[in-house]
Amino acid sequence: MRTGRPSIGAAAAVSVAGLALVAGCGGSRSASGVGTVTVTVSAAAATPQVTVTSTDAAATTPVATTPVATAPAAAPVATQALDEAGFWQLIEETRSAAGNDTGRQSDLLKDRLTHLSPQAIVDFARIRHSLDRRAYTWNLWGAAYVIQDGCSDDCFRDFRGYVISLGRVPYENAMSNPDSLASVVQDAEKGDWENADNVAPDAYSSVTSDDFPFDTSDLSGPPSGTRFDENDAAGLARRYPRLAARFR
């Protein structure tokens, strides 16, 4: 059976049923009096009103006025764009709520994104992509190499996502000095780098049932900066002394 929000008229009819009893039964009337009950529905007000008036030969008397209950309007989906400050707020709030659990953070982040507009979800992906590209450097890759004692292309992709997931301050510090990560990172297994996913495409599909309109392909080509020598353990230890001390 199809159901829906009742119209003002239907709601008024329900209210009138009770009010008409008041008009017909309340007070005293002469045996010879002839009267009618007039119902007035006012929909102009913010809350529609129903007025029942009893009329006889002597007077016209308003018996009762009652508001008509209407269903509350659905909360609108936020339509504003997302800027970088909003991006980092989402990252940091979900990291904190997840208790530093990367996989759990990704789940919470996807849920938060589904409460934003489609445009804001796309903005999130674009900002993340920009941060990922900025982190696509030999200097950061060398840090991941020291932590893991080796790091493939896929490993480095996961590591960049993990560094972004840690929040703005760790990310910015790592961009200027990757060795600063020694105090905040975990290795790939404990830190669950692999689950620092870009959840924007899934969130977008959940909201719109459409394909994601932004290219999320992995970065390719040589990273920027000076390449590290993976066969020079002593050189890596000099380049990343704090990471080497903790993870080697």
Instruction: Output the pLDDT for position 49.
Output: 52
Domain end call among 21, 38, 67: 67
**82-88 long-range contacts, CB within 8 A, separation 24+:** 82/116, 82/120, 82/121, 82/123, 82/124, 82/127, 83/123, 83/127, 84/127, 86/120, 87/123, 87/124, 87/127, 87/128, 88/167, 88/168
Exposed, middle or buried: residue 234 (CB in 10 Å: 0-12, 13-18, 19+)? exposed
Residue 127 resides in a domain: yes
Q: What is the average pLDDT across 53-72?
A: 46
Structure-model confidence comparison of residues 99 and 25, the more confident one: 99
Do 59 and 23 fall into the same domain? yes
CA distance 88 to 78: 18
Exposed, middle or buried: residue 52 (CB in 10 Å: 0-12, 13-18, 19+)? buried
The per-residue pLDDT for range 172-189, each reduced to its tens digit, is 999 999 999 999 999 999
Q: Is the pLDDT of residue 22 over 50?
A: no
Residue 2 resides in a domain: no
Share of the chain above pLDDT 70, in %: 68
Residue 79 resides in a domain: no
Do 20 and 115 fall into the same domain? no
Cα 116 from chain centroid (whole Å): 5
The per-residue pLDDT for range 92-150, each reduced to its tens digit, is 999 999 999 999 999 999 999 999 999 999 999 999 999 999 999 999 999 999 999 99
Q: What is the average pLDDT across 162-179?
A: 98
Q: Which amino acid is at 212?
A: F
Instruction: Output the pLDDT for position 89.
Output: 98
Q: How many residues does the chain have?
A: 248
Instruction: Output the pLDDT for position 222.
Output: 94
Instruction: Output the pLDDT for position 80.
Output: 80
Do 92 and 214 fall into the same domain? yes
Structure-model confidence comparison of residues 174 and 26, the more confident one: 174
The per-residue pLDDT for range 187-207, each reduced to its tens digit, is 999 999 999 989 999 999 999
Instruction: Output the pLDDT for position 26.
Output: 44
Tokens coding 162: 């993990």
Tell me how many domains the chain contains.
Answer: 2
Q: Is the pLDDT of residue 241 over 60?
A: yes
Comparing CA positions, the residue from 233, 129, 242, 232 lying closest to residue 177 is 242
Instruction: Output the pLDDT for position 248.
Output: 87
Do 122 and 198 fall into the same domain? yes
Q: What angle do CA 80, 205, 100 make, to 5 degrees?
A: 75
The per-residue pLDDT for range 206-227, each reduced to its tens digit, is 999 999 999 988 999 999 999 9
Do 91 and 37 fall into the same domain? no
Q: What is the average pLDDT across 221-243?
A: 96
Range of 140's domain? 84-247
Residue 18 resides in a domain: yes
Residue 30 resides in a domain: yes
Q: Are 122 and 84 a contacting pair, CB within 8 Å?
A: no
In this prediction, residue 20 has a pLDDT band, given cuts at 50, 70 and 90, of very low
Structure-model confidence comparison of residues 237 and 51, the more confident one: 237
**How many CB atoms neighbour CB 18 within 10 A?**
11
Q: What are phi and psi of 91, to 5 degrees?
A: -60, -50
Structure-model confidence comparison of residues 181 and 19, the more confident one: 181
Do 55 and 89 fall into the same domain? no
pLDDT mean across residues, the chain? 80
Task: Give, in order, the Cα–Cα distances in Å from 10 to each of 6, 70, 74, 93, 244.
Answer: 6, 11, 20, 46, 75
Instruction: Output the pLDDT for position 79.
Output: 57
Q: Are 157 and 219 a contacting pair, CB within 8 Å?
A: yes
Do 224 and 166 fall into the same domain? yes
